[in-house]
Amino acid sequence: MAANHQIPEEPKVAVVMVPLPAQGHLNQLLHLSRIISSYDIPVHFVGTPTHNRQTKLRAHGWDPLTVSNLHFHEFPIPSFDVPPPNPNAPTKYPTQLLPLFNASIHLREPICALLKELSKTSKRVIVIHDVLMFWVIQDVPSIPNAESYCFHSTSAFTMYYFGRVFAGKPILVNGEPLKDLPPIDSLYPQELAQYIAQQENSRKCNYGNLYNNCRVIEGQYLNLLAEEKLTDTENHWAIGPFNPVTIPERKNPNKCLEWLDQKPQNSVIFVSFGTTTSLSDEEVKEIAVGLERSGQNFIWVLRDADRGDVFIGEARKAQIPEGFEERIEGRGIIVRDWAPQLEILGHPSTGGFMSHCGWNSCIESITTGVPIAGWPMHSDQPLNAILVKSVLRIGLIVREWEARNEIVKSETVEEAVKKLMASPEGAEMRQRAAELSNAVKNSVTEGGASFAELKIFIAHITR
């Protein structure tokens, strides 16, 4: 979906992307910027200098600096606390990012000024904003030729869950009620609920919802969202996956990918828990022992969670068991810095993914056809893990949500890795994941359902 496409002559439409300044949210809207800009539509990506730098530095699968009509706007905000993540906190939610989220309100005025400036030379200004950034774009209704569209960085199943819970209705999978769902108040800390509550009065207008998704993956829940009117709009566009579905030719050397080149097909499990989760030393020890005893090849990304400013402060280096790296030499590697996740998942040697089940990671794993051993940590992740296991049937769950406060033992890690990588059940999950990947790739090619839905959205905003 990144090729250049024709649009109506001289639409004079400008698109402004307003992401939440957290990696999983920044990354998805950057990928969407690439897609929309391929239709010769100028896209303006706004953020702080720090987070624009972070976004460009961590882009994978393409180079944002090579897209001529993608423009980055940097707006400074007042300094905020940059606390380190606490690996021993009672919750895995990244509370160290909350000062940054609250400071984002200072983007409101410069973004409004940008929108007014663009409105003078554009027939229409389209604002695509993160669902957690309503308060930053609340001035859009005051600009006559501006429209705002809400981007949901989660699965449609998650949106359906919230809508049904608030309506007091059961959650259905293929028409049957689903049991053992996580309580809604267990997903987010009270501080985030307060952050969201601050924005309620800013929800003045929403022309439609956008999803990094496609109907091949979640058609039933996208349809239910519309049929049951579970959101504040009747317009829903599933125009993903946003990430490249074809892994580009490698241009620069990378130790992970070169190591994978030496391994058999589907023989390596990739272990990564995203950018918002820090593991305690005890958790790290149990994972290390479990991976070692599993006998499977692995790449383990062992990084501390992001701070609000990833360029300030020295990241903690989690302790691994003494002699571990020597014992697993040739069979496993540990990555302490940024890893090219999309390229690793897309490598033929990667046959499994132990993941926190953030939606970014889920959609990339689905795109590349890699089954998931889900280990949800917070927020929408427990719901995504249910989607992966019970709806799509392309994975398993390492640790059930009701046991989230317990340390996962090495035996559990070992068993999950073996089941995913070296069992008939794991092989079946891998086959289903490969079939779903093919269907998703077909959907984004010309004539496919997601491609057609994207064209409808582009026609809508350029009308």
Q: Please answer whether residues 456 and 237 qualify as being in contact, where contact means their C-beta atoms are separated by less than 8 angstroms.
A: yes
Q: Please answer whether residues 461 and 13 qualify as being in contact, where contact means their C-beta atoms are separated by less than 8 angstroms.
A: yes
Q: What is the pLDDT of residue 8?
A: 44
Alpha carbons 327 and 140: distance in angstroms, whole number: 58
User: Of 4-18, 225-239, 312-326, which gets the smallest average pLDDT?
Assistant: 4-18
Q: Backbone phi, then psi, for 129, in 5-degree steps?
A: -125, 150
Alpha carbons 444 and 242: distance in angstroms, whole number: 10
Q: What is the pLDDT of residue 2?
A: 47
Query: What is the identity of the amino acid at 170?
Result: P
Q: What is the pLDDT of residue 426?
A: 98
Alpha carbons 423 and 420: distance in angstroms, whole number: 7
- Band (pLDDT 50/70/90 cuts) for residue 11 is low
Q: Please answer whether residues 130 and 29 qualify as being in contact, where contact means their C-beta atoms are separated by less than 8 angstroms.
A: yes
Q: Please answer whether residues 41 and 152 qualify as being in contact, where contact means their C-beta atoms are separated by less than 8 angstroms.
A: no
More confident residue, 173 or 462: 462
- Band (pLDDT 50/70/90 cuts) for residue 229 is confident
Q: For the beta carbon of residue 72, count every other beta carbon within 10 angstroms.
A: 19
Alpha carbons 186 and 180: distance in angstroms, whole number: 13
Alpha carbon distances (Å) from 15 to 47, 63, 343: 14, 19, 28
Q: Please answer whether residues 135 and 105 qualify as being in contact, where contact means their C-beta atoms are separated by less than 8 angstroms.
A: yes
CB-side neighbour CA atoms (13 Å) of 194: 7
Check 51, 130, 139, 236 and give the catalytic one: 130
Alpha carbons 374 and 453: distance in angstroms, whole number: 30
Per-residue model confidence as pLDDT tens digits over 162-209: 999 988 899 988 788 888 889 999 999 999 999 999 898 888 888 999
Alpha carbons 437 and 112: distance in angstroms, whole number: 40
Alpha carbons 48 and 51: distance in angstroms, whole number: 5
**Dihedral of alpha carbons 201, 202, 205, 210, sign:** negative
Name the average pLDDT for the chain: 93
For residues 67-87, give the mean pLDDT: 94
Q: Please answer whether residues 239 and 210 qualify as being in contact, where contact means their C-beta atoms are separated by less than 8 angstroms.
A: yes
Helix, coil or strand: residue 131: coil
| Catalytic-residue membership of 130 | yes
Helix, coil or strand: residue 1: coil
Alpha carbons 157 and 272: distance in angstroms, whole number: 23
Q: What is the DSSP letter of 395?
A: E
pLDDT exceeds 60 at position 3:
no
- Band (pLDDT 50/70/90 cuts) for residue 234 is confident
Query: What is the identity of the amino acid at 166?
Result: F
Helix, coil or strand: residue 125: strand
pLDDT exceeds 90 at position 258:
yes
**Both tokens of residue 62?**
């393409």
Alpha carbons 86 and 306: distance in angstroms, whole number: 11
Q: Backbone phi, then psi, for 222, in 5-degree steps?
A: -65, -40
Q: What is the pLDDT of residue 7?
A: 46
pLDDT exceeds 70 at position 10:
no
Q: What is the pLDDT of residue 1?
A: 53
pLDDT exceeds 80 at position 315:
yes
What are the beta bridge partners of residue 373? 354, 396
**Dihedral of alpha carbons 112, 117, 118, 121, sign:** positive
Q: Please answer whether residues 5 and 37 qualify as being in contact, where contact means their C-beta atoms are separated by less than 8 angstroms.
A: no
Q: What is the pLDDT of residue 172?
A: 85
Q: What is the dihedral of CA 203, 209, 210, 216, to 10 degrees?
A: 150
Helix, coil or strand: residue 252: coil
For residues 270-296, give the mean pLDDT: 97
Q: Backbone phi, then psi, for 357, in 5-degree steps?
A: 70, 35
**Both tokens of residue 128?**
């695509």
User: Of 5-14, 23-32, 159-168, 200-209, which gets the smallest average pLDDT?
Assistant: 5-14
Alpha carbons 106 and 129: distance in angstroms, whole number: 15
What percentage of the chain carries pLDDT values higher than 70? 98
**Dihedral of alpha carbons 310, 27, 433, 345, sign:** negative
